[in-house]
Each structure stands twice: as structure tokens, then as C-alpha cells.
């Protein structure tokens, strides 16, 4: 009599389920990072467990710089708002959130400024975090000569490929996000973005 091979229980930890979960987790981590860079940064800040007062102070300084820069934006005659409106609204929201973080930390008592987690000991994660900082520096250096559109596209496309996104998906998302941001800030909000090599086209 032929007998069918025994079927291992899916709940048993000895049937290789851990080995099956790991590839699925890796594919999920790679494919769904097309949602953007901010998700990665927020994840890193949460894993590092910064003191809320430190985060609040950092965001408060960032908002102050953002609002101060808006005073140099040109005004458009005949319009009730100009390109400085949207950054000021965002800056005001950041100020409110920063003050709430500082107040919550003050009420909860003293805590260490930062507590590193396991990811800080993993070279791949450290390389990813360093790549994010390098992308910011690259934008500061290359946005003026190249322009916003080429620089933003290169940064997004490179980061998507680094995080395991398929090349075609990375290309489509990078182009769509770059054009959307260019249209929103450049056309709707009247924020002058660097044109660079596309000066004769835009």
C-alpha cells in the first residue's frame, strides 16, 4: 500500500518555517520601500530611540531655519499668498509638534539622550543610513548645476535600487515623484526650484 509522505504542521518551528519566513521578510523589506525615503528615516529614528527633548529641539531648530528662509522669498503683486505660505504652514506645524515632544519628555523625567539598538551594529543598515545622508549632501551640491529634476530623479532612482526595488518600478516611481514635486512647488506654489541644465526647456 502506497502511503503519502507525512505533512509537517505549519505551526511547528522545526519544519523549516523560519527559513521560509526570512525570504518573505526580505522581499517585503525590499519591494515596499518604494514608498519613499521618509519611511526609512522615521524607522531609524524610532529604532535609535532618541530622547524626545533632543528630537523636539532638533525639529524646532529646523522649523526656525525653514521659516526664516521664507522671508527671502519674493512676493507676487495682486495675490493673497505667495511661495512663502506653504513652508510657513509646515514650519508652524513642526514647531507645535516639537514643543509637544519637549513637554512630554519634561513631564516623563530624565532619560538618556540616545539609546542605540541592534541595527547600529549591522554594517548593511549603517551603510543604508550613511547613503541617506550622502543623498542629502549630493542634492545640496548638485541641485544648482544639474537642476532639481535630474538631481531628485538620480537620488530617488539610486535609493530605490539600493533598497531592492525592481529597476522598472524604481524608474516609474522616481519619474512620477520628481514630476509631481516639480509641478506642485514650481507651478502651484510658485517656489523657484533650480533649473540647471534644463533652464532652456523649463
- Positions in the chain short of pLDDT 70: 1-50, 110-120
Q: What pLDDT shows up at residue 14?
A: 46
Q: What pLDDT shows up at residue 110?
A: 64
Distance CA 172, CA 58 (A): 34
Helix, strand or coil for residue 50? strand
pLDDT tens profile 179-201: 999 998 888 878 888 999 998 88
Distance CA 16, CA 162 (A): 29
151 class by beta-carbon count within 10 Å (0-12 exposed, 13-18 middle, 19+ buried): buried
Distance CA 62, CA 69 (A): 11
Q: What pLDDT shows up at residue 32?
A: 41
Distance CA 179, CA 164 (A): 23
Q: What pLDDT shows up at residue 15?
A: 46
* pTM as predicted: 0.51
Q: What pLDDT shows up at residue 30?
A: 42
Distance CA 17, CA 29 (A): 18
Q: What pLDDT shows up at residue 116?
A: 61
Q: What pLDDT shows up at residue 192?
A: 84
Sketch the domain layout of the chain as residue ranges: 47-119, 122-202
Amino acid at each position: 500500500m502506497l502511503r503519502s509522505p507525512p505533512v509537517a504542521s505549519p505551526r511547528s518551528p522545526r519544519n523549516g518555517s523560519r527559513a521560509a519566513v526570512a525570504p518573505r521578510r526580505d522581499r517585503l523589506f525590499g519591494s515596499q520601500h518604494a514608498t519613499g525615503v521618509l519611511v526609512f528615516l522615521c524607522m531609524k529614528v524610532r529604532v535609535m530611540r532618541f530622547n524626545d527633548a533632543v528630537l523636539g529641539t532638533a525639529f524646532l531648530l529646523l522649523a526656525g531655519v525653514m521659516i526664516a528662509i521664507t522671508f527671502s522669498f519674493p512676493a507676487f503683486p495682486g495675490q493673497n499668498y505667495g511661495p512663502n505660505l506653504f513652508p510657513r504652514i509646515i514650519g508652524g506645524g513642526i514647531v507645535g509638534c516639537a514643543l509637544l515632544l519637549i513637554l512630554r519628555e519634561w513631564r516623563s523625567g530624565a532619560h538618556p539622550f540616545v539609546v542605540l539598538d541592534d541595527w547600529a551594529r549591522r554594517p548593511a543598515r549603517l551603510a543604508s543610513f550613511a547613503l541617506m545622508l550622502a543623498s542629502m549632501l549630493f542634492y545640496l551640491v548638485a541641485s544648482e548645476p544639474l537642476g532639481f529634476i535630474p538631481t531628485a530623479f538620480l537620488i530617488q532612482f539610486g535609493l530605490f535600487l539600493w533598497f531592492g526595488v525592481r529597476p522598472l518600478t524604481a524608474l516609474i516611481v522616481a519619474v512620477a515623484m520628481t514630476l509631481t514635486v516639480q509641478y506642485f512647488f514650481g507651478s502651484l506654489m510658485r517656489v523657484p526650484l533650480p533649473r540647471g541644465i534644463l533652464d532652456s526647456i523649463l
